[in-house]
Amino acid sequence: MIDDKIIINDKCYKLLAQIGQGSVGKIFKVQFQDQFYAIKKQEYFGEGELNFYQNLMKKENRRFRNLIQIYDFKKIGRFSYIVMELGECSLQHLIEQKQIDKQNIRFYMQQIGFGIKELHEDLNLAHRDLKPENILVQTIKSENLNQTQQIFKLCDFGYVKNINNLNTKAIGTPYYIPPELLKNTNNNYNKKCDIWSFGQLIYELIAGQLMFQGNTIQIIENQILTITDYKIQYLIDQLVLEKEYKELLKNMLKINSHERFDILQVLDCLKPRSKSQLKYCPKQTPNQPSIRYPFQKQDIQFQRQMSPFVQRINIQSQLNHNYFQNQQNNNQIVSVIQNQKKIEP
């Protein structure tokens, strides 16, 4: 990086603004010729993240519709630079701005589901940190520019890993972690961990609140470990939602991952079979405490951090540093929950 320029593989990108920062890297908005991109600069990578970027570069002739596009990659000294699509905002931003159209939940589910399918079925990978912050929103225009459509794309692949080698426990973000990742067993889990997170995300969009509430991570994790299928079914039945979609959510949120739907079953249920659409009637819900915002735990300050590109929940910066040091030295994953600060352009 030279002053306000970044040179990657003979392309000179003009640095416009820093739009994100976390414990392991920074994200910049840049311009090359008349196009705008995001460049992620980081020193350490998750166990499968670097291989993911390299493999995508090999598939340069293939474009994934619902995964953020990777255009270029280069290692310069101890830092690596990844050139990516620039998103307009995250799904979390739409939630906070109350811009979610509940009538379009089915469309949202399809968009996110297609991205999961591209990971699971086409790339043989699990994301392991699905949440609204890690879904970018873009708007595309028709050729005559009279119509627009939103496209949702999965991003932040720091925890991505081959589905045949899933064994790291308690990885991800508290609200969306499936029970099997929190249980103290030696059993490997499977790619359906993403389906649980997907289901929790959709429940949040429809209900207007998270399924699991609490002031500490321990409380939330205990709720996840002790909830039953009956309790989940009860909560879903309280939603003002058509029966077929309630049943879909119930099958996405099965405690036993072997009974849980896979992404192909989810998408099959979302195929249009009639003119029936999701129906939603707004109802008032009280404000709920959320560890998306600051709270104290054992004298450690927890703070929700956001960026329009990548966000995570940060437990402790030193833990994050140790995690990525272990990744570099031992190629092992330690259970760490991360987040990145919101930086306004």
Q: Where are the alpha helices (DSSP H) in 296-337?
A: 317-330
Which residue in 307, 331, 324, 330 sits closest to 43, CA to CA? 324
- Residue 292 has, within 13 A of its CA and on its CB side, a CA count of 19
Measured between its terminal Cα atoms, the distance across the chain in Å is 19
Q: Using alpha carbons, select from 252, 233, 282 the residue that is nearest to residue 192.
A: 252
Distance of CA 234 to the CA centre of its chain: 26
What does the alpha-carbon distance between residue 56 and residue 73 come to, in Å, rounded to a whole number?
Answer: 10
Does residue 310 sit in helix, strand or coil?
A: coil
Residue type (1 letter), 329: N
CA distances, 124 to each of 24, 48, 240 (Å): 26, 12, 35
H helical segments located in the chain: 49-58, 91-96, 105-117, 179-182, 193-207, 217-226, 229-237, 243-252, 263-269, 317-330
229 noted as active-site residue: no
Separation between Cα atoms, residue 51 and residue 210, nearest integer Å:
33
Quickly list H helices, 84-169: 91-96, 105-117
Q: Which of 72, 129, 194, 262 is catalytic?
A: 129
Could you list the active site residues?
Answer: 129
